[in-house]
Amino acid sequence: MRTSVKSAIAAVALSVAVAGGVFIGQAMADQPHMQAALASLIEARDQLAVATHNKGGHRVEALRLTNAAIAEVQAGMADAEY
């Protein structure tokens, strides 16, 4: 494949990715409650990560559940755009 064709394909792919990101960003921006929940969950995860480790396994389980909650909120936000 010639360099100019490769460059054109790369430019189109980049344009599609940027346009898709703008639309996804707009759909996600229209979800202030989900965004707030996600920010709170991320903060909770960060706090759990730096907490002392001796909690009888409860800190680790809370961290696991918080990560699962983060994934669910992100999936819900992504699903809301359709």
At 19-50, the pLDDT tens digits run 555 455 555 568 999 999 999 999 999 999 99
**CA dist., res. 66 & res. 70, Å (int):** 6
Averaged pLDDT for residues 43-63: 95
| SS3 category, 80 | coil
In whole angstroms, give the CA distance from residue 24 to residue 77: 9
Q: What is the reported pTM?
A: 0.63
Output the pLDDT for position 54: 84
- Separation CA 72–CA 79 (nearest Å): 10
Whether the pLDDT of residue 61 is over 60: the answer is yes
**Residue 78: pLDDT above 80?**
yes
Cβ contact 81:24 at 8 Å:
yes
Domain ranges of the chain: 1-30, 31-82
First CA to last CA distance, the chain: 36
The structure tokens listed for 82 are 């359709």
